[in-house]
Structure 1
């Protein structure tokens, strides 16, 4: 009991009285009373109560628009998707071991068995390293989540408004390939104008465009173009 009390004091639920989550039945109340009377001279005695019922109480607080200053289910896409759409119980994802309600990072694999991470250096990452339940987009990946680790990438570029996972696929093809550029966004550019002409010659997007900066400047154009023809100012490149 003392261990449970210490964990409760350290947790985010420390301002909530026990009876808010734990409810004793008449039988449990009598058992607890008898146990206390019989063993009141001992320092501690074991008891279990409300373990299953307490999980059913979660929604009373966390389903509201404002509750205890925490992220509520209605404001969290991840919770809305798992709780309301998939009807997954809180206890399936949260640990719940002696008042420790942190997410169980290994629980995701129970359902998402096909979602392995293929990025070099990312193999040991847990799902919650990238995905955030409080994010409001279906991908559940905040825009600044990747930048926390990949902080050397340029923050301002022609496509800096895109999300990293629109090009990189951590659960599939992590490295960007020309086929992704053409199929996802730039279908027209590959068939018309100078882009179409160069593509017909067998050139790929990444041969000229450097990932994350993308703009072909005069110096880069001079070095690249001269391999096949006389250098031309990229400003006059006809799309």
Structure 2
């Protein structure tokens, strides 16, 4: 988990480097900073579409991720999404504040759909991306597949040549895995999409959210 003190150190170091590479661990002497996205208190992912637990191997990799200035936002976003593992899928559910009751067949389920989870995750990183896949597709920079990093949004469409047919979004853990809310009857979980024939056929691209930073809360009461 990235602590508030650690995050401040990360931001300061990133600014000082002016776009250079910084390690998330050991950025400031005496400051406890960890980049792990593994939380013992988080529910284990259920058995559903391509389920995977956060393995010891994955946990061991995360503290050593070298990130460019600004990439800590992506780490915060994917960490927030991972903490929602086990929350039910709810069609139309979820927003920047967390899980909600959905609409239609999700009206009686408190949880997230795919875009609601993405909105929540990036709101935790301080970035507003909208609550549906359409604005989310346009919420940042298109990223080549071989440059996907933690927190990037990965999109899937019925017709990969047409963004108008996008129907699903996940939050990248790396270039192969994502955390997402798959479908009714499932829950937020980790899945390997790279190499999956269904996902490969529908992969349309990845986006790294940026720019639209949430305003600070008003001090007025």
TM-score by shorter chain over 0.5: no
Higher Rg of the two aligned structures: 1
Greater strand proportion: 2
* TM-score, normalisation: structure 1: 0.21
Greater helix proportion: 1
